Structures are given as C-alpha cells and as structure tokens.
Amino acid sequence: MNKKSKSSDILKNEKATTKNSAREWAEALIFAAIAAAIIRSFIIEAYRIPTGSMENTLLAGDFLFVNKFVYGARIPFLGWRLPEFKEVENGDIVVFKFPKDPEVNYIKRCIAVAGQTLEIKNKEVFVDGKIQPFPPEGKFIGDTMPPGHPDINIFPTFSSFNKDYYGPIKIPKRGDNVTLNAASFYTYKDVLEYEGHSVSLMGNQVIVDGAPMATYEVKQNYYFMMGDNRDNSLDGRYWGFMPESNLVGSALIIFWSWNPDISLLNPIDKISSIRWGRLGSLIH
C-alpha cells in the first residue's frame, strides 16, 4: 500500500471517528433531555418561593425541591394521574395549581381535608371540633377581626366570615350529595365549575348546564389551604376549596435560599445574602 493510500485510510477513519463521537454526544444530550423531562414531570421539580405568605416556615427567595410522585404525578397532555403513594394529610405543605388561574403554582399548608369541617375562632383553627397546632414557624402580623364583622373579600361571597372568625364550613368530599339553593350557591358554585359544569342562580333555583338542579354529587376530593403567615396570605379563606385535580406535589427540601430583593447586577451583595443555614433544610 502506498503512502497516498495510507493517508486516505487514516483520514477516512478520523472522519468516521468524528462522526461517531458527534452521534454519541447527540444521543447523550437527547437522553439527558428525556431523562430530565421525565424527572421533572413525574418525580422532582424545583420551585421558588415568591412571597412571604408561608413565613417563617418558608421565606421569599427559598428554592425548593417538590416531590411530584407522592400524590400521584399527572401525565402531561393526557390529564391522567398516576397512583398516589399517600393521600394529602392535615399539616402537609403542598404545591398546587391555583384554582383561579391554573397556570400559576401556589404553595400553602393543608388545614383540612375532604369531609372534614373547618372553623377558625379568634385566629385558632379547629378541625372537626378539635383545635389544631399552630405551625412552629408560623406568625401573625395583624390585628384580630371581631366575630360577626364580615369581610367582602372572604369566601364564600355574602357569608358572615372574616379571616379570624371563619366557618364552620365542610370541605367537599367525593360522593357527597350537596344541596343546591340560594343559600349554598356561592359555597358550591366553584366546585361545579371545577368539575366542568356551567352554573347560575335564578331566584332560589340553581341552574346547572341549563337545567334546574336541587342536589349534586361531588366528583372529586377538595382541600382547604392556608399560609403559615396567617395575616398575609391569599389562601382558601379568600378563594375557597382546592380541587384534588390541581395537586402538584409535596414540598420536600430547601436547596437554595437568598434575598430576592437584591439584584443579580449587584453580585457581591447578592452572594452575601445567601442564607447558608437554610440550605438542605427539610420542609415540615
């Protein structure tokens, strides 16, 4: 074999090796992207705390990992949910799609689950008549509103509730048959809409999908969510029940935390604001 032939073979081999390497890198990147998408969709997803509604349990600027499979991860585009490992329990800190805007994720503590009766008296939470422990890092920052002084922003509309004296109200449970009339309309209006119905009120009659309806069987479980910063939280007291279909996952661990009010354009102060003591903290 002459020198020209050898050089040609070497060049061909180098080109083949380069092509194989490029293909291997492309395959590795595709696999990594698929693996990341699977992990993000079904197992773990990062979440940033944007507000102070969960202070001091969670602070604005905390970055969390959220366990998505524990309550049954949702299959993208299909709307199906995988089997759950556990049900939502009182006290769980839950990430969920905000019922009034499912494009936005919220994080709150579950205060009452489906079938339980919730009442707040003088800022203290009672579930099925039993007082519930206050979160160790929770706080109050406002005055107590007196009983019998309704807040027009409180759910349900036209109730006598306010943020500190609320209920009693029963959390809807799958299979419940609820009475529909003028008195209950604003309590269950959202429930029917979350479950795919159009609903309106005509006199004392509730109209569902164009026809009068006096009772309705609830199709899924609901939960009542509240922030640990009880006087500074847009939670279930203002927008009502959280449907099971909106569950995203359970807050797991803080992997990063710094002051969100400091700009990245000020790197020295930003790095100085890292809350080292919070990194790796389990959330409960």
- Only one residue has tokens 């002051």, namely 259
Q: Supply 92's token pair.
A: 């769980």
DSSP string over 117-163: EEEEETTEEEETTEEPPPPTT-B--SPPPPTT---TTSSSTT-S--S
Query: Rg (Cα) of the chain, in Å, rounded?
Result: 26
* Cα 241 off chain centre by: 12
| Residue 130 burial class via C-beta count within 10 angstroms: exposed 0-12, middle 13-18, buried 19 and up | exposed
Q: Which of 5, 21, 68, 108 is catalytic?
A: 108
Backbone dihedral angles phi then psi of residue 281, each to the nearest 5 degrees = -75, 130
End-to-end CA distance of the chain: 74
Alpha helices in the chain (DSSP H): 3-42, 185-194, 236-239, 267-272
Give the whole-angstrom CA distance, residue 189 versus residue 200.
Answer: 8
Known catalytic membership, residue 21: no
Q: Supply 258's token pair.
A: 């710094």
* Cα 101 off chain centre by: 12
Indicate the SS3 state at residue 193. helix
Known catalytic membership, residue 108: yes
Q: Which of 3, 5, 41, 53 is catalytic?
A: 53
> Known catalytic residues?
53, 108
